Structures are given as C-alpha cells and as structure tokens.
Structure 1
Amino acid sequence: MKKIALIIGSMIAGGIISAAGFNWFAQAESPAEKTPSAERKVLFWYDPMYPNTRFDKPGKSPFMDMDLVPKYADEEESSASGVRIDPTQTQNLGVKTATVTRGPLTFAQSFPANVSYNEYQFAIVQARAAGFIDKVYPLTVGDKVQKGAPLLDLTIPDWVEAQSEYLLLRETGGTATQTEGILERLRLAGMPEADIRRLIATQKIQTRFTLKAPIDGVITAFDLRAGMNIAKDNVVAKIQGMDPVWVTAAIPESIAWLVKDASQFTLTVPARPDKTLAIRKWTLLPGVDAATRTLQLRLEVDNADEALKPGMNAWLQLNTASEPMLLIPSQALIDTGNEQRVITLDADGRFVPKRVAVFQASQGVTALRSGLAEGEKVVSSGLFLIDSEANISGALERMRSESATHAH
C-alpha cells in the first residue's frame, strides 16, 4: 500500500515539474506580445441630419432610423477655419469640387407676351359743329377703313349761313378785310380748310359735308344713323391703327438692368410661326407690380400685313449677358435664409466655409459680388456632409465671428 502511494506521489510531482518546465520553455521560445494601442477617444455621438444635437452614448437616432455617428477627438485636428474629413468618406458620398471662374453671366429666358393695339395709332372723329346726319356709309365696328374713306354726310346750318354771307359780300363789293373775316369765322367754326378752298374756287354754297377717316385702321366705335341730330364735339367714330402694334411682357425686376438693346429679343407668335417679327423700338414702363415684382416691357412691332391681331399670345426670348464677374455652380451655394455660404477646399486639403454675397443666378450658374477669388475650389456635390462637419467642429461659428470682425 505504501508502495502504491509512493508511486502516485512521484507521478504528481513529476507532472507539476514538467508543466512548469514546459511553461518556462514556451515563454522563452515565443516573442513578447505588443502592448495593445489605445482606442480612439470619442467626444460625442450625433445624427448627421441634426448635427447640432449631441449624445453621450451610441445608439439609434431619435430623429432618423439610423445609427448615431461618433465624433472622435483626433478629428478636431483642423485649422482655425476649416475641417478635415476622412477621404474615404468624402469619396463614398461623391463629394466633388468646381473652380471659381470669371466671365459673363448669360441669360436666355422666355416670357409670355401679348399683342395689343398701339395706342399712339388712334384717332377720334368728332363733329366740329352742330347739325344733322344725312347719310351713314355702310360701316360698323370691326371694319377696316383706309385713310380718307367717307364715314357719314352732315348738314351743318352754321356753315351754310356763313358761306351765304361770304358770297353776298363778294357780290356786293365787300372789302378784302370783310371777306377774309367771314372765311376766318368758318375756320373757327370748324369747317375743313379743303372745303373753304372749294368755296373760294367755285363760289358756290356747299350744304353737305362728309366726315372721313383720318388714318388707316379698324373701327372700334361707330353707332350713328341717318336723320340723327348731332351736337358739336360729339364723337362720330373711333379708329385704331394696326401698324405697328404693341407686344408687352412682364419681366422680373432683378434682370431689368440687362435689357439694353432690341437685338437682345427674339419674338415669336404661335399663331404665325412662319412670320419674322421686326422690332422697331422698346420701352421699359415705369413702375413695378407690387405682387409679382415685374416690370412691363413694351415692344413696337411692324405689322404692315396686319397678321398680328390684338389679343394674340406671343413668346419673348431674352438673350443677353452681363459684364465679367465671379461665377460658381448654383448647386455649390448654401442659402439658409439668414446667410449664403459655400464650402471651399484649400491647398492643405481642409474644407473651409466662407460667406459670400450673391449678385444674380441664371441657368445653373451664380454670380458673386464678393467672398471668393478666381481659381478657388468650391464643393459642388456632397455639400451636406461637409456642411454638417463644419457645423459640428465649430468652423461655421469661426466664419461668422470673422465676418463680424471684418464688418466692424
């Protein structure tokens, strides 16, 4: 029994010694392990959609169905006005840049327009003295008339009486002063000069007088009948000329300064797509529509063939360009309502927010008054990520502080 116990004890002791020896040998043979590197320090977590709200632990965003993103302490490495962003992150989000250029801002914009009568080509025919209508020529509103076309025949008693006195003086040897006085009275009474000359030439009394159209055009008012009495200065007819006509369009006040010459306009009329329209002159009417912030642009257009009718629709194309100025893609601009800014990429690879003053925009291009220099790089795609990072890192606050300092 003692022999068995001695054997077992020897085996246990040998196992312990062997294990200890193996452990020592293994430590001697295996290289020393490296000390694990310290983990990156997280300052806070945030939702990129709401970068101003910070969280002290990871998890799901309460605003969006997405994980919160950590903000690391080593990401605070930045210049006084910019931020660095992981290049892999910017590449994955399709961040692109564009170069600030200098050149003219071009405009090519169409505006609906309307054809109307030229109010300068308008005539009112009046009775120059009281009388009654002997004959009305077959005309009505909408009819076209030529200059000199008869409208109606009148008998005017005052003119007949004055003519009788004139002829009586001639027959009884009246003086030149007396006869000239009668003729002047006829002129003052409204008798046309042509009828007075006819009286002198024929020495015959004219009892019927014809009122004629003073211009070519369309009758817009004419409502008289034979046998009617007519008083002095009563309107007999209204005639509207058709050549030239007006074409008017409302243009934004923000581009009115670009309108300088009739050659900038291209005018088309859907009803006459085959017609080439010649613009004689143009006028920007004074006054801005308070509701639409537009000005009325009025064009005077040739219409010898009267193809353009009042009320027709038209399209006015404005083709023009500004003086050379700083230009950026419009998609590079961040407009918050309170400020307008861009994100620039500097030579050190930092993204720097800069406040800009916008002058005008057209066709996807924005002209600037100030804030950038020609040749600078601006972010034109992926702005959301960069702007969020700039907001988180405080770069936007530094930008605003610098702007306030410069302002003072």
Structure 2
Amino acid sequence: MTTTTTLKNFYLPCALGIAAFALTGWSVYGLQAREAAAPQPEPALVHEGDLLRLPQKSPLRRSLVVQAVADQTVQAPFILPAVVEADPARLVKVLPPLAGRIVRLNKQLGDAVQAGEVLFVIDAPDFAQANADATKAQSALTLARRNLERQRELDKSDIAARRDLEQAQSDYEQAASEAARANARLSQAGGAGAGGTAVAGGKLAVRSPIPGRVVALAAAEGGYWNDATAPLMTVADLSRVFVSANAQEKDLNQLYVGQQAAIRLDAYPEPLKGQVGYVSEMLDADTRTVKVRMPFDNRDGRLKPGMFAEATLLARAHPGIVVPMSAIIQNGFASRAFVEVKPWQFQPRELKLGAQIGEQVEVLSGLKAGERIVVKDGVLLND
C-alpha cells in the first residue's frame, strides 16, 4: 500500500508537466502559423535603382504636393552697400576771399539761410586796399572823361591844339584801363558780383549763394582766418539728396538709369522706393566699383547725409524658371529636386540655382518648363 502510494505521488507530477509542455508547444506552433499566414505590410517607398515609387496605399501620397514648372519673366534682386549724400550741386563750402579777422557771424550751425543773406563779416586789410584803389581809379576815370569832353569842344571851335585832344584821348583810355583793373581786383577780393559786398568801415560781408541750411561751421567771432583753402562755413540745400551705392564690376550689365530700387536704413523700418538716376561712366581705380546714385525728395529732413543704407536693385528682366524654396533639397553640397517621371514615380535631379527671389529661387539648369516636381515635403523622399 505504501509502495503504490509512493509511485502515484511520483508519476502524477511528471504527467502534469508533460501535458503542460505539450500545451505550450502547441500554442507557440499555432501562433507562428497564424503569423506566417498574415500578409506583410506594403512599404511606403520603393527604391527601383535611382527611381522612387510610391505604392498605391503609401501614406506619402497624402503629404507630397506636386506642381508643374513654367517659364516666366524673372527679375533677380541684388544688394549693394549705400550711403546718403548731399547733392553736390546744392552744397557750397564758403571760403573767405581774403585773410582777415572775423568780426561778426550772422549765421550759426543749423540756421536756415536764404540766397543773398549775409553769412559773416570779415575785416580784411587787402579788401580795404582794393576798395580804395577801385574808388581812386573811378575818380581818375571821371576826371579823364571830363577833360576829353572839354578838349573835343575846344577842337570844334579851333581853339585848342590837335595834340591836346590826342593827349586827352590817351589819358582817358589809360584811366579806363586802370579802373577796369581795379574793379577786377576788387571783384576777386570779394566785392560786388563775387558773393560779397562792402559794409561800413571797409569790411567785407560774405553772402550765401544758395538757399539752405548751415551744416558746418569752423570759426568763431574774433578769430583770424588766413587759410584760403579751408571753408569757414558750409551751406547745403538738403531738400533733395542722393543715396549712392557702389556696384561691383560684375554687376555692370545689370545697371541702368530708371532701374527700380528699395532702400533700407537702420533708422526706419519701412524701405524707401526709388530709382536709379545716374550710373557713373568711370570705375573707381582703387575699389573697382562704379557709383550709382538714386535721388530722393528730402523736404521732411528724414535722410541725413552720412547715413548708411542697403540698396536692393532688380536686375534686367529675362525669361527663366523659378521654383519654391521648399522644392529644393540639400544633399551635401548639391541642390536637387524630385521630378515626377511617371504618376507617383520620382527621380532626384541635381540643379544649378541662381538668385533667391523672396520665397522662390531661380533655376539656371536642371529643369525644363512643363516638368512636374515635388514642392512640399520632398525631404521625405530624401532617404
């Protein structure tokens, strides 16, 4: 009895273990069989050489956007450094015509000036001498004229000798020549007709030749000025200014008078619209650049000479192809796009790009009008 019980206790666990093992093996076998019978999912992208194919159920078909390219008129922008400058024809550097002491400054820095207004008064000994010589020469001319007239009357009455008339004629001509010389000297010294006039005491009043504003002042009352090459004061009419840009030699074929330009300045958020009014005929020998000037009305005084600017000009219009920037995929140093060769079949193609125009870029080579390219989410094909 004891032996039988012992055998039952030994074989019963073994039988249960074998049954559990068999059941587990059957379950695993059934699972593998079901997995083998289930179909494999279709890939989203199939590579066929250099061709990329999207299967019918590919989720990429819902995200990619394909668009045809077409020829159109292209005006590529290019940017030039620029600066605001005063109009040279409306800026005068006033130099004292003679050395002397400045006795009065009628205008200070920033003052408005009308044409003909006195800017400053200078006490110049040479001017006083020139004025005196002109007055003396004029008096001698008047006397010589009266003597000539008297000799002519006497000659008509046969009272005076012929040689007296001839002598009076010679004296008059000499006096006229001396008066002309003295007046020319006075004019050169800053007299009437040369931007200046005499005032009380033989002093010289220098007047402004143009209307505008005093933009530079280099002297004070009481100072002695003896440099004939240094301007004492600068008067400028800034109601019209230039924005001058320097274009490189390679951009010369893109420049022309009337060319549209957008000017950006640090002081103002909105760009100014203008156009090229002048393209220099000569290149700067040092910088190898050409000067381009764009005139601007500045009656509100917003543009200050010396302000730095950035000029964006539009090149000459030409036919070309532009594509969205989103269509361009960078692959190392190369730029490429995916071209649809058949429905939902794409081929990567390397492109040569030109200038960027807003959110688009010009394609110089690699694409033809009518071809369809991926313009959105093309990066998903770039694996």
Q: Given the two structures, how large is their TM-score scaled by the length of structure 1? A: 0.57
Please state how far the C-alpha of 1:323 moved relative to its aligned partner: 2.1
Contact 1:357–1:368 (Cα < 8 Å) also in 2: yes
| Corresponding residue for residue 192 of structure 2 | 194
Tell me, in whole angstroms, the C-alpha distance in 2 between the residues paired with 1:217 and 1:112.
28
1:136 to 95, 104, 110: 104
Counterpart amino acid of 1:179? A
For 1:323 and 1:385, the matched residues in 2 are separated by 33
Counterparts of 1:253 and 1:381 in 2: how far apart (Å)?
38
**Residue of structure 2 in register with 1:162 after alignment:** 133
CA pair 113-383 structure 1, distance change in 2 beyond 3 A:
same
Q: Which residue of 2 aligns with 1:339?
A: 334
Residue of structure 2 equivalent to 1:300:
295
1:326-365 equivalent positions in 2, closer than 5 A: 326-336=321-331, 338-347=333-342, 349-365=344-360
**Over the residues paired in the alignment, what is the CA RMSD in angstroms?**
5.0
1:145 is the counterpart of 2:113: yes
2:181 corresponds to which of 184, 207, 219: 184
Query: How far apart, in 2, do the equivalents of 1:227 and 1:91 lie?
Result: 86
Counterparts of 2:279 and 2:71, CA distance in 1: 31
Report the CA distance between 1:195 and its aligned residue.
Answer: 5.7
Instruction: Name structure 2 gaps, 5 residues minimum.
Output: 1-35, 145-170
Counterpart residue number, 1:117:
86
Candidates 304, 308, 311, aligned match of 1:310: 304
Corresponding residue for 1:105?
74
| Paired residues of 1:136 and 1:224 also in contact (CA < 8 A) | no
Which residue among 210, 215, 220 is the counterpart of 1:220? 215
Q: Deviations over 1:176-225 (max 9, x none)?
A: 245324533552561347369x99xxxxx993332101111111233545
Partners of 2:59 and 2:268 lie apart in 1 by: 54
Match of 2:317 among 309, 314, 322: 322
Distance 1:384 1:228, change over 3 A: closer
Aligned to 1:241: 237
Query: How many Å apart are 1:333 and its aligned residue?
Result: 1.4
Tell me if the contact between 1:98 and 1:328 (Cα under 8 Å) persists in the aligned partners.
no
Spell out the pairing of 1:78-89 with structure 2 (5 A cutoff). Answer: 78=49, 81-89=50-58
The amino acid across from 2:192 in the alignment is: A
Which letter does structure 2 place at the counterpart of 1:167? Q
Paired letter, 1:142 = G
1:304-329 superposed Cα distances (whole Å, 9 cap, x missing partner): x4443527899978678832212222
Larger strand share, 1 or 2: 2
Cα deviation for residue 71 of structure 1 reads: 12
Q: Secondary structure at the match of 2:110?
A: coil
The question of whether the paired residues in 2 share the 8 Å contact of 1:219 and 1:237 is answered with: yes
CA–CA separation in structure 2 for the residues paired with 1:187 and 1:195 = 10
Secondary structure of 2:210's aligned partner: coil
> Which structure 1 residue ranges, 5 or more long, are not aligned?
1-35, 41-68, 200-204, 389-408
CA contact (8 A) 2:134 2:182 kept: no
For 1:381 and 1:327, how far apart are their aligned partners in 2? Answer: 15
Report how far residue 106 of structure 1 moved.
Answer: 5.9
What residue number does 1:126 align with?
95
Instruction: Check conservation: 1:131, 1:157, Cα contact below 8 A.
Output: no
How far does residue 259 in structure 1 lie from its aligned partner after superposition? 6.1
Paired amino acid for 1:347: K
Rate the CA distance shift 1:249–1:87 in 2: closer, same or farther, 3 A: farther
Query: How far apart are residue 376 of structure 1 and its match?
Result: 0.9
Q: CA deviation at 1:143?
A: 0.5
Does 2:339 align with 1:370? Answer: no
1:380 paired with 2:349, answer no
Kept in 1: contact 2:105–2:220 (CA 8 A): no
Total equivalences in the alignment = 305
Query: Closer, same or farther in 2 for the Cα pair 1:120/1:368, shift >3 Å?
Result: same
Q: Aligned with 1:235: secondary structure?
A: coil
1:202-213 equivalences under 5 Å are: 207-213=202-208
Separation of aligned partners in 1, 2:246 and 2:131: 54
Query: What is the deviation of 1:87?
Result: 3.7
Tell me the residue number matched to 1:6. Answer: none
- Aligned-partner residue type, residue 216 of structure 1: P
2:4 maps to: none
Identity of aligned residues (%): 17
Q: Distance in 1 between matches of 2:312 and 2:372?
A: 34
Query: Do 2:77 and 2:313's aligned partners in 1 also have CA atoms closer than 8 Å?
Result: yes
Task: Report the TM-score when normalising by structure 2.
Answer: 0.60
Q: Tell whether the 8 Å contact from 2:260 to 2:276 is kept in structure 1 after alignment.
A: no
CA distance in structure 2 between the partners assigned to 1:98 and 1:252 by the alignment: 37
Change in Cα spacing, 1:363 to 1:254, as seen in structure 2 (3 Å) is farther
